[in-house]
């Protein structure tokens, strides 16, 4: 059925809950905007961050944003050991504090003029489904990582004994995925033992999955279907035989894809403030495709020695660079680096990443391969130098290099450091080398396919349409 604002008689109200980090807020907010564009009333719910305020822009406007005022700072210590337990303590505390607050919020909404019909919740809080059921409304998880990674988590969830079972194997073979080396698995599954409590977080996303009728994720069908590998049932196809999965991405502002949503020019909720004027002016002064943009996202904390290698790698490449170094990372830069390289580079504490990636001066993106950054580069067709750090990033890097052919992975030495020579070689190869030519051709192909997916009648558009139609007649 074709849905338009005209034939939606009364607005159905839907709530979407996001964990308050940039990499979750961005895709969930974009999904909200797409739902609002189909005539739904949409409220995005998150929490107020203790450390930073959310800066809201005009782009949010079709979506109501409500922030639960909860105190997530005083985490009781239930265990004394390592980082693992701190993370576990945090998520236990998060549930204790957020669950009652979210329940109170929904209860309040139920007696409003627009009682909500549905809750889309961040897949890392599967317990949100129990809350909605209490109010007689249905829910569905939203996954913020690639479907290939989630396929792995699902398979491990079904067979927990597989975790850490791969240490001795050179290659890992899993249904629907290309053969993967150990260091191409999500870091929580590669046996390295870092953050073991986060394994539970990833696997438990599937703990109550048989109770839901939809699983949304931020990707598009072709991106995870067309591996070109004979005899492999691809992740989306394979998962669709197991679960009701729906790809609704790429979840990036419409301006950079189909341009069908008015005013959807940026994400609209920022945890950091960009200094737009400085870097846009700087980029404007450069030749087309002459700059490498470098960013490791909103969370990654690099070793000081790694930051130094990146700094000298950029300098040695002799290519113009724009580097995002968050304030919390800035003391890891070599002394006087910004001053010494001011002819060639600019270091900023945050930027509007999509605006930068889409700028004609940018020819390459050196990235930690967070899923949003990966999708953004794919969607605007910017070739990548991949420098994954942890979680899903090594797997995303594998796909960037070997499956979609849109970048090159800069490889670590035996001590786990990517050296300056390797960085400079990869940058030059992607920007100016023979391999770069092929990478640019592939980037253009994937950019077109990303647009096609969200455009009218594309796979993503159809999936969203189908969900909205069901919701209207629930
Ligand atoms: N981002 C941004 N400005 C920056 C760096 C990052 O707007 O200077 C945005 C980026 O566009 C992406 C998000 O922050 O949407 C980071 O998400 P990702 O999944 O790539 O990585 P994470 O921060 O979760 O590790």
153 lines ligand 1 (CB under 6 A): no
Strands 269-270 and 55-56: antiparallel
- Assign 3-state DSSP to the chain and report helix, strand, coil percentages, each to 5: 45, 15, 40
- The reply to whether 327 and 215 lie within a common domain is no
Identify the residue with better confidence: 133 or 7: 133
Cα 244 to Cα 338: distance, rounded to the nearest angstrom: 50
Residue 211 CA, ligand 1 centroid: distance in Å:
32
Residue 163: pLDDT band by 50, 70, 90 thresholds? Answer: low
Residue 173 CA, ligand 1 centroid: distance in Å:
31
The active-site residue out of 13, 93, 122, 392 is 122
CATH number for the domain harbouring residue 256? 3.40.50.2000
**Can you point out the beta strands (E) in 77-168?**
118-122, 138-143
- The reply to whether 58 and 143 lie within a common domain is yes
- CB crowding 224-260: b at 16 or more within 10 Å, else e: beebeeeebebbbebbbeebebbbbbbbbbbbbbbee
Q: What is the pLDDT of residue 194?
A: 67
Identify the residue with better confidence: 242 or 6: 242
372 lines ligand 1 (CB under 6 A): yes
Q: What would the pLDDT profile of 15-24 be if each residue is shown by its tens digit? A: 999 999 999 9
Q: What would the pLDDT profile of 313-368 be if each residue is shown by its tens digit? A: 999 999 999 999 999 999 999 999 999 999 999 999 999 999 999 999 999 999 99
- The reply to whether 366 and 383 lie within a common domain is yes
Q: List the residue whose alpha carbon is closest to atom 15 of ligand 1.
A: 372
Cβ-based neighbour number of residue 445 at 10 Å:
14
Q: What is the DSSP string of 164-219?
A: TTTTT-SEE--TTS--EEGGGS-GGGTT--SSHHHHHHHHGGGTTGGG-S-EEESS
Residue 225: pLDDT band by 50, 70, 90 thresholds? Answer: confident
Residue 300 CA, ligand 1 centroid: distance in Å:
10
Q: Residue 409 belongs to what H/E stretch?
A: strand 407-409
- The reply to whether 264 and 290 lie within a common domain is no
- The reply to whether 186 and 75 lie within a common domain is yes
Residue 230: pLDDT band by 50, 70, 90 thresholds? Answer: very low
Q: What percent of the chain has pLDDT over 90?
A: 73
Q: What would the pLDDT profile of 242-293 be if each residue is shown by its tens digit? A: 789 999 999 999 999 999 999 999 999 988 888 888 999 999 999 999 999 9
Cβ-based neighbour number of residue 113 at 10 Å:
8
The active-site residue out of 13, 24, 359, 368 is 24
Question: For residue 19, what are its two tokens?
Answer: 């964990």
Q: What is the DSSP string of 12-55?
A: -EEEEE--SSHHHHHHHHHHHHHHHHTT-EEEEEEE--SS-PPE
Residue 176: pLDDT band by 50, 70, 90 thresholds? Answer: confident
| CB distance 447 to 249 below 8 Å | no
- The reply to whether 327 and 195 lie within a common domain is no
User: Is residue 233's pLDDT more than 80?
Assistant: no
Q: What is the pLDDT of residue 473?
A: 80
Q: What is the pLDDT of residue 161?
A: 66
- How many domains does the structure of the chain reveal? 2
Collapsed DSSP state (helix, strand, coil) of residue 296:
coil
Q: What is the pLDDT of residue 305?
A: 97
Q: State the average pLDDT for the chain.
A: 90
Please compute the mean of the pLDDT values over residues 427-441 and round it to a whole number.
Answer: 98
- The reply to whether 121 and 258 lie within a common domain is yes
| CB distance 253 to 326 below 8 Å | no
Return the residue matching tokens 């599967």: 126
- The reply to whether 258 and 307 lie within a common domain is no
Catalytic-residue membership of 359: no
Q: What would the pLDDT profile of 95-116 be if each residue is shown by its tens digit? A: 999 999 999 999 999 999 999 9
Cα 430 to Cα 365: distance, rounded to the nearest angstrom: 10
Q: What is the pLDDT of residue 467?
A: 96
Question: For residue 112, what are its two tokens?
Answer: 């409003």
Choosing from 18, 23, 187, 380 the residue with most ligand 1 atoms within 8 A of its CB, the one to mutate for a pocket test is 23
> Using CA of residue 318, residue 447, residue 253, residue 212, what is the dihedral sign?
negative
Catalytic-residue membership of 258: no
- The reply to whether 255 and 295 lie within a common domain is no
**Backbone dihedral angles phi then psi of residue 341, each to the nearest 5 degrees:** -110, 15
| CB distance 243 to 209 below 8 Å | yes
Q: What is the DSSP string of 423-468?
A: HHHHHHHHHHSHHHHHHHHHHHHHHHHHHHHHSTTSHHHHHHHHHH
User: Is residue 75's pLDDT more than 80?
Assistant: no
Residue 80: pLDDT band by 50, 70, 90 thresholds? Answer: low
Residue 373 CA, ligand 1 centroid: distance in Å:
6
**Ligand 1 atom closest to 300 (CA):** 25
- The reply to whether 434 and 305 lie within a common domain is yes
Q: Residue 317 CA to chain centroid, in angstroms?
A: 28
Q: What would the pLDDT profile of 378-431 be if each residue is shown by its tens digit? A: 999 999 999 999 999 999 999 999 999 999 999 999 999 999 999 999 999 999
Please compute the mean of the pLDDT values over residues 90-98 and round it to a whole number.
Answer: 92
365 lines ligand 1 (CB under 6 A): no
Residue 9: pLDDT band by 50, 70, 90 thresholds? Answer: very low
- The reply to whether 233 and 287 lie within a common domain is no
User: Is residue 10's pLDDT more than 80?
Assistant: no
- Which of 67, 376, 357 has its CA nearest to residue 218? 376
Residue 110, domain extent = 5-268+456-471
For the ranges 75-89, 117-131, 190-204, 234-248, which has the lowest average pLDDT? 75-89
Q: List the residue whose alpha carbon is closest to atom 2 of ligand 1.
A: 353
User: Is residue 6's pLDDT more than 50?
Assistant: no
**Ligand 1 atom closest to 349 (CA):** 8
Provide the whole-model pTM.
Answer: 0.94
Identify the residue with better confidence: 34 or 194: 34
Sequence-separated (6 or more) residues with CB below 8 Å from residue 342: none
355 lines ligand 1 (CB under 6 A): no
Integer angstrom CA distances of residue 470 from 116, 133, 191, 467:
14, 18, 42, 5
| CB distance 426 to 385 below 8 Å | yes
**Ligand 1 atom closest to 393 (CA):** 25
Q: What is the pLDDT of residue 88?
A: 82
- Which of 434, 382, 427, 426 has its CA nearest to residue 404? 382
Residue 21 CA, ligand 1 centroid: distance in Å:
9
Identify the residue with better confidence: 389 or 474: 389
Q: What is the pLDDT of residue 175?
A: 75
| CB distance 172 to 182 below 8 Å | yes
User: Is residue 224's pLDDT more than 90?
Assistant: no
| CB distance 345 to 320 below 8 Å | yes
Identify the residue with better confidence: 155 or 307: 307
Cα 295 to Cα 291: distance, rounded to the nearest angstrom: 13
Return the residue matching tokens 């900023």: 348
**Ligand 1 atom closest to 295 (CA):** 5
Residue 371 CA, ligand 1 centroid: distance in Å:
9
Q: Residue 308 CA to chain centroid, in angstroms?
A: 26
373 lines ligand 1 (CB under 6 A): yes
- The reply to whether 200 and 185 lie within a common domain is yes
């Amino acid at each position: 059925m074709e849905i338009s604002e005209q034939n939606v008689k009364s607005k159905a109200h839907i709530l979407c809950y996001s964990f308050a980090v940039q990499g979750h807020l961005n895709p969930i907010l974009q999904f909200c905007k797409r739902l609002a564009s189909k005539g739904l009333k949409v409220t995005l719910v998150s929490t107020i961050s203790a450390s930073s305020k959310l800066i809201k822009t005009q782009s949010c406007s079709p979506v109501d944003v409500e922030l639960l005022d909860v105190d997530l700072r005083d985490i009781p210590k239930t265990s004394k050991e390592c980082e693992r337990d701190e993370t576990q303590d945090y998520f236990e505390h998060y549930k204790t504090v957020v669950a009652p607050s979210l329940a109170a919020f929904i209860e309040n909404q139920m007696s409003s003029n627009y009682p909500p019909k549905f809750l889309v919740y961040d897949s890392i809080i599967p317990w949100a489904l129990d809350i909605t059921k209490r109010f007689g409304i249905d829910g569905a998880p939203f996954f913020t990582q690639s479907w290939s990674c989630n396929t792995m988590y699902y398979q491990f969830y079904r067979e927990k004994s597989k975790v850490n079972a791969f240490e001795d194997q050179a290659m890992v073979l899993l249904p629907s995925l290309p053969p993967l080396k150990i260091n191409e698995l999500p870091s929580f599954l590669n046996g390295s033992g870092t953050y073991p409590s986060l394994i539970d977080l990833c696997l438990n996303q599937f703990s109550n999955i048989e109770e839901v009728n939809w699983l949304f994720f931020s990707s598009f069908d072709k991106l995870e279907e067309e591996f070109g590998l004979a005899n492999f049932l691809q992740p989306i196809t394979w998962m669709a035989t197991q679960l009701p999965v729906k790809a609704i991405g790429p979840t990036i502002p419409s301006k950079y894809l189909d341009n069908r949503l008015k005013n959807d020019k940026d994400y609209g909720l920022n945890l950091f403030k960009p200094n737009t004027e400085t870097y846009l002016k700087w980029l404007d002064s450069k030749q087309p495709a002459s700059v490498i943009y470098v960013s490791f996202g909103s969370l990654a904390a690099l070793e000081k020695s790694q930051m130094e290698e990146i700094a000298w790698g950029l300098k040695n490449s002799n290519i113009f660079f724009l580097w995002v170094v968050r304030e919390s990372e800035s003391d890891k830069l070599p002394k006087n680096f910004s001053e010494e390289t001011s002819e060639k580079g600019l270091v900023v504490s945050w930027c509007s990443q999509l605006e930068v990636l889409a700028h004609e001066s940018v020819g390459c993106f050196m990235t930690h391969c967070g899923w949003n950054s990966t999708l953004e580069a794919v969607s605007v067709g910017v070739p990548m130098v991949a420098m994954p750090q942890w979680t899903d990033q090594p797997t995303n890097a594998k796909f960037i290099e070997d499956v979609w052919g849109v970048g090159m992975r800069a490889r670590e030495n035996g001590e786990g450091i990517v050296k300056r020579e390797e960085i400079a070689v990869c940058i030059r190869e992607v920007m100016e080398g023979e391999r770069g030519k092929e990478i640019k051709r592939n980037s253009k192909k994937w950019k077109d396919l990303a647009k096609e997916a969200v455009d009218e009648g594309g796979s993503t558009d159809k999936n969203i349409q189908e969900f909205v139609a069901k919701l209207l007649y629930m």
